[in-house]
Structure 1
């Protein structure tokens, strides 16, 4: 077989168009580049398969924009998770990070989001094949189960609607590629110590393999990887510690479910709090509008405690000189433990069975000697937070398993690959502590054991301990069984070269089950699962695709692809893709592509059980407390500044999303050691599947009148935030790449690279046929689309020493500026955000590699934000680094 060309040829791969932004994010160590350059002359190029095409070809061919990141490069800079690796990719506009799980159940864990189109439109692969989507939020792969320590590289196809992997890849494709084979035994240990409290990380990794595929005819390779990170409390960070009381951001937000409790005197028809006149009970309760508010966001954990373990094993067997068989198994699991404020209890003040009442004979009734003040002598309905029971602690578990049997090689002049795979994803949400049996709390208040206005007696503490509810409330499982086959070859010769042809197909069975443990969840009203019903769904998918690579002329090449997908539940679709590569001179190349896409709603988006959860932020009922002023039929403690219930879940009436994508790019090599690229992209989506942000619903109650569900007495029961087809999206922009390898010097080897994305347009509709709204450089539609993001990396190496400095930069935007923020602060702009990471490595000891570095070198806090869509206040957890400056060290030892 022909030998593989190394890095020097990789630069030319960029130039010729197969690797779009090329070294995009990180340059290879330059000493290795020099030695590889010296070896290049006698070598020949290997025929390989590049992400974005099924035709095996000399790697320098191709017309699609692909970024390749080597695992050695992102581990040197301290990236410990797949989400962290992708956060430095400029085209990955927003990251659903592990921190976003705080206060939110049934989540994906962590997800990628190319182009800001949503995680459900980014296709994530492992070794070119699909994983099962996360069982919760099952429209995306949970990045926390990707075995980072087993990776060889990550390939990112920035051109959407892949006709090869699936036309649901509207935003693009991310292909995590593990090491193909390995011999020896390697142990690596890593620790990360933040300068501030919380967030410490540790990682242990053991990898080993035996057998040389060419000499022995086999190779067995395995990796065991363990990673954990400690939690970070809001009080551990100055930008999060104020919670909802942040005057610098115009925020004075607190929950009406308070400690001490607010009450509604049913006989007198009045709201009040016995401690409102004395300032409530600081530091977390404060007086506002004659009642107390509780600063719940000041007592949460802003970064969860996480633990991940991944095991991957692969056996490869050489059947003959041209064919191999392999078996691969992946098991990965992660646990996320979240911490939020104490459990909440409140009714609608109607005096019926839904209320939490205290009677006049309670020792804690106002005026009975313990609690100050007085009431009418009738029952009081309270809105209470059980601080003495401790924080609510929840634990989400996610796991993924995949078994893959595959064959690949050459047969009868055809390059082929085929695989039979079974993938499964499981998830569960459990109550760990702080969640209380709602009916026991009602009884405890009625019989005078529980004190809603102050500290509990010994009997009260014992009662709260007995009222604790623990266990799994929700679980889910998704399964994918697939059989795929692809064959390619050169059909015939044209004057400009051979015509490449590929034909492939796939049969796929998808299943999803969502189960609600009513025996447990119904005990705790704050889980919102009382109205949920277990659900399941399944579908069969069949696909057939073909691809042609046609050298029209010596300087012009065309790639033509066509894909058919048939879904048993939503029908069939045919989508084409056309790509062109034009190279008029050695130093310049043009490329362009056009494709259509189709994404069926996921089984989760269709069947997710509808359940209630509290809104992330408190709001005013627009009918009973408009603008924060109590209406004649309103009750301040019930209708003003409340975290209302929100109904979340699936929608069986969803329609498929459809898209059109266009790209036009240029790659130049003005000097032998300099490569630059620019790619324009334009994506249009119809029938976008998403949810209407809760802030938008409360901000426009007339437009969203059908989203408000009311009780018989007119009070707000909940808002509806289930999945819907919002309308269309239109976005466009430019990807820019630059790589410069300086000539070798006596001081060492130097290199510089840039990966940047400029978004010129992002318009969306909140309903079909509605007006287009702007989401670029301003917070809207539940998030931000940044105008410019880039990662720049400077590398140096000399002998056994090497070092890297990375800058990650994001432009500013207009803040959320919601109705909860003081009007004088609603035109607030957020400035740009820059972080620096540095690292150094030494390989001078036999079999030992040492690396040390600093993440967020200048300890830059995330930009201050008045966003209230998340449970973290004071900053946006999706875009900012809450850890701050952190020191890391890693040692890797090669035993043999």
Structure 2
């Protein structure tokens, strides 16, 4: 944090060695901290609002890492640090469009508060739940603190899981240019290139002013799944039970005979080319009667194309004992997400040129259609993958004043942030108009006679597809703003036997707004019988229309206080409390916190804390006007297709085609409704505690051990669909069945077949506990250099959930989090992908002399039980399996022997280790949310200062 008071305000003091451990600074060299202490008088320590000298230890576990150490580990993005943080069950896949997010303790990103220089950033506005680390300015970053404890009394009642606090440089003079590139060893895409610039003028200490600006630009190329054939090997994936191929839409398309006189034949799929299909677009099934699309390889990507641009500017002016600062942060990151080709269901009458048996397409042997219309599930291969172009904007302006007045240290500011997420159609998106028509009152699409759903198009058909492209059309826009005014005052009240009794008082007024901007292009079209004009449109294109457009705001008023009482030289008590009033909820919540630190020996510190938390329902959860549909993956009807002895057994009177392997099927896509307007939700509440020990048995060897436990009640979210399917009796009312009890969905007013109604609600409770262990050592200096190292371990002892206070707790320890009835990531695109490894750690070993630094780091996580769904069993799958443990090594070297020039080189994924295999339906083979699939990659960077 930037210094703002004259050094005469308090004598500078070097931190004790034990202080390094108390703050959890396992990666911050003592020399760096000492330099900070000499340049700093009184600052705020993360987790406290009382200004104090930096060697005044607190009772809270904090991990701190400098920007230089991030670079030494070979990181090219902040997501790399987030993924290796053992205390975080973070979602950092390069597949998603939302951007990487931090989930401390695996309790959900919405319960981890992200701060920049002590104040909030605007949230990603689609869900209004979290802030992506993509918006943090890397070139201006000084350090990152991670408070592994609830901080509701200090920063906001919603900091249930902890705080990730980023701090920019207090001042900067001169200039610096950084060039960096990461190149995978394997051919294909995935390379990253970046440019960083920072420049500043003025010396805050000597001239009383400083101004600097920083720019980060990064470009990452797409890595298609086809570029990693060793990770898409059908023979390997089929042994997992991973269904690589879409069972419905294909090229050539599969069709049904919906008006067949025999009802059981109306849902059977046929294909005129079932024994040959059309490589590479499809392959035949084992029975040879239909074609399947291998979209696991053909269209989708492991890593999406991603561009990041961050600009940060900061100006500081000293006015006597006061410091005036202004800062502006602008971030724009865009993601091109690759999806399977448009997959509509179209109708062909007997007069259509491509109707089977009319001469252009062969008839199916043994099938007498008798001229009845057919429904074709078609993958529009000629249009290629649908690329969704997502743009995220995050801006913030802060004006702050801090200093000393009438014996009080004060800090106040105005913080205004605004964010926007705009999703556009890229290549591969088509309109219905010009390609198909509807007739009568049905929503069936009658295909234009120039188009062939059973193969590639003629020149005439291609012209129709090109004319129907909607590339560049905005599909949805969401916006968010947060404006706040805050003030904090702190001072020493009196002398106690252990030191001064200190008090801090503060207040904040905040207004958050959220907007779903309605788009005319999302309005239904009368000529299409009230369908949106997007061919194969689904949740990828969901956005507000003129009826669901909304803008809503929330006013929050907060008062908070903290008292730090050193009762004796070896015993300090810290008390804090925060009251937040949510005007729209007409609810006031009061959340206290108590912390205790006892140092019975110079080499031993005991610490502990307890606190409560409160998280209000997000604005979209309460005030959305949209109904959200989420497409269901392949599943078995839990009542009519049970698995008996490892074999799927259709209920009497039903065929496997009717009740097993559903969605998409002959009835078309099946959906679950996951969001509706007008929900009545209560706020979440939490209780947390931590206690631990810091031990320094010998000089330069420190060890920390902390136990933590958190319970969250009234958790807001959806039931994981797989948990619903595994407990059909418990959630019978959630399923929508037709009169014959088939789980084929009930067609609603929007024309969607809804199989499940699963909207956010207060679903129950979560509780988790674990032990954090940290070890850091620095060997004595020798003529040949100095060795240092450390390890940071997170060991889970509990992670379970219950559906209500009267229900039993269900454990997810060592499992994916969708084996329990409460999902901590509900509302996010990665909603069911959290995993609770019992053991995670990050370790480093470094050697350094005057010009060189060599570091080897390891990230490790233990095995977990795989999903092992009955619907995802395949050839060779026997019994439950585990997702194996995973270890990743990085090796980096830094050279500073050239004047003003720093050279870095790193080998990421030193042993070219693939992510572990999983049969979870969300991953299609490899656990890509916790590890990159680049394989071994080389990073080179050069930084020149002037």
Give yes or no for TM over 0.5: yes
Q: Does 1:2 align with 2:39?
A: no
Q: Does 1:70 align with 2:66?
A: yes
Aligned to 1:13: 19
Aligned to 1:512: 514
Matched residues in 2 for 1:90 and 1:119: separation? 15
Question: What stretches of structure 2 of length at least 5 have no aligned partner?
Answer: 1-5, 438-444, 524-531, 643-647, 665-669, 746-752, 819-831
1:293-324 Cα distance to aligned partner (Å, 9 max, x none): 3222222112110001010101100011x211
Q: Retained in 1: the 8 A contact 2:503–2:564?
A: yes
After alignment, is 533-542 or 408-417 more displaced? 533-542
Aligned to 2:419: 425
Change (3 A) 1:44 1:886: closer
Aligned to 2:45: 50
Secondary structure, counterpart of 1:148 in structure 2: coil
Matched residues in 2 for 1:451 and 1:637: separation? 28
Q: Does 1:390 align with 2:384?
A: yes
Q: Retained in 2: the 8 A contact 1:625–1:634?
A: no
Matched residues in 1 for 2:313 and 2:11: separation? 27
* 2:259 paired residue among 267, 278, 287: 267
1:602-628 Cα distance to aligned partner (Å, 9 max, x none): 113323454445536322455777758
What TM-score, normalized to structure 1?
0.92
Aligned to 1:293: 292
Aligned to 1:575: 591
* 1:723 paired residue among 729, 753, 760: 760
Per the TM alignment, residue 761 of structure 1 is displaced from its structure 2 partner at its CA by 0.2
Q: Does 1:697 align with 2:734?
A: no
Per the TM alignment, residue 805 of structure 1 is displaced from its structure 2 partner at its CA by 0.8
Aligned to 1:488: 490
Matched residues in 2 for 1:369 and 1:27: separation? 75
Aligned to 2:570: 555
Q: Does 1:468 align with 2:505?
A: no
Q: Retained in 2: the 8 A contact 1:243–1:296?
A: no
Q: Does 1:648 align with 2:701?
A: no
Aligned to 1:105: none
1:247-289 Cα distance to aligned partner (Å, 9 max, x none): 2212345321222212111332442323464153344333256
Q: Retained in 1: the 8 A contact 2:152–2:578?
A: no
Per the TM alignment, residue 406 of structure 1 is displaced from its structure 2 partner at its CA by 0.3
Secondary structure, counterpart of 2:71 in structure 1: helix
Aligned to 1:81: 77
Q: Retained in 2: the 8 A contact 1:564–1:574?
A: yes
Per the TM alignment, residue 635 of structure 1 is displaced from its structure 2 partner at its CA by 9.6
* 1:863 paired residue among 916, 919, 942: 916
Aligned to 1:104: none
* 2:405 paired residue among 411, 428, 449: 411
Matched residues in 2 for 1:302 and 1:259: separation? 23
Q: Does 1:134 align with 2:132?
A: no
Q: How does 1:429-468 map to 2 (within 5 A)?
A: 429-443=423-437, 445-468=446-469
Matched residues in 1 for 2:704 and 2:853: separation? 27
Secondary structure, counterpart of 2:764 in structure 1: strand
Matched residues in 2 for 1:678 and 1:278: separation? 63
Matched pairs, number: 866
Aligned to 2:154: 164
Matched residues in 2 for 1:614 and 1:475: separation? 19
Aligned to 1:353: none
* 2:865 paired residue among 814, 838, 842: 814
Q: Does 1:679 align with 2:706?
A: yes
Q: How does 1:221-620 map to 2 (within 5 A)?
A: 221-238=212-229, 240-242=231-233, 246-255=237-246, 256-268=248-260, 269-270=265-266, 271-275=268-272, 277-283=274-280, 284-287=282-285, 290-299=289-298, 300-320=300-320, 322-346=321-345, 356-374=346-364, 375-443=369-437, 445-470=446-471, 471-520=473-522, 522-524=532-534, 525-528=536-539, 529=542, 533-570=548-585, 571-613=587-629, 615=631, 617-620=633-636
Secondary structure, counterpart of 1:460 in structure 2: helix
Secondary structure, counterpart of 2:423 in structure 1: strand
Change (3 A) 1:759 1:886: same
Q: Retained in 2: the 8 A contact 1:395–1:429?
A: yes
Matched residues in 2 for 1:272 and 1:438: separation? 24
Q: Retained in 1: the 8 A contact 2:519–2:544?
A: no
Matched residues in 2 for 1:860 and 1:5: separation? 51
Q: Retained in 2: the 8 A contact 1:192–1:886?
A: yes
Q: Retained in 2: the 8 A contact 1:334–1:397?
A: yes
Q: Retained in 2: the 8 A contact 1:259–1:454?
A: yes
Change (3 A) 1:589 1:159: same
Matched residues in 1 for 2:544 and 2:276: separation? 38
Q: Retained in 1: the 8 A contact 2:518–2:544?
A: no
Q: Retained in 1: the 8 A contact 2:274–2:291?
A: no
Per the TM alignment, residue 677 of structure 1 is displaced from its structure 2 partner at its CA by 0.3
Aligned to 1:874: 925
Q: Retained in 2: the 8 A contact 1:692–1:766?
A: no
After alignment, is 581-590 or 567-576 more displaced? 567-576
Secondary structure, counterpart of 1:164 in structure 2: helix
Per the TM alignment, residue 416 of structure 1 is displaced from its structure 2 partner at its CA by 0.7
Matched residues in 1 for 2:182 and 2:726: separation? 42
Secondary structure, counterpart of 2:419 in structure 1: strand
Change (3 A) 1:711 1:462: farther
Q: Retained in 1: the 8 A contact 2:420–2:479?
A: yes
Q: Retained in 1: the 8 A contact 2:518–2:543?
A: no
Secondary structure, counterpart of 1:519 in structure 2: helix
Secondary structure, counterpart of 1:306 in structure 2: strand
Per the TM alignment, residue 831 of structure 1 is displaced from its structure 2 partner at its CA by 1.6
What TM-score, normalized to structure 2?
0.87
Q: Retained in 2: the 8 A contact 1:337–1:396?
A: yes
Q: Retained in 2: the 8 A contact 1:240–1:298?
A: no
Per the TM alignment, residue 411 of structure 1 is displaced from its structure 2 partner at its CA by 0.8
Matched residues in 2 for 1:132 and 1:308: separation? 17
Aligned to 1:93: 89
Matched residues in 2 for 1:752 and 1:616: separation? 47
Aligned to 2:898: 845
Matched residues in 1 for 2:232 and 2:564: separation? 58
Q: Does 1:739 align with 2:731?
A: no
Change (3 A) 1:837 1:10: farther
Per the TM alignment, residue 88 of structure 1 is displaced from its structure 2 partner at its CA by 1.4
Q: Retained in 2: the 8 A contact 1:345–1:438?
A: no
Secondary structure, counterpart of 1:465 in structure 2: helix
Matched residues in 1 for 2:28 and 2:209: separation? 33
Q: Retained in 1: the 8 A contact 2:475–2:543?
A: no
Question: What stretches of structure 1 of length at least 5 have no aligned partner?
Answer: 102-107, 347-355
Q: Retained in 1: the 8 A contact 2:907–2:937?
A: yes
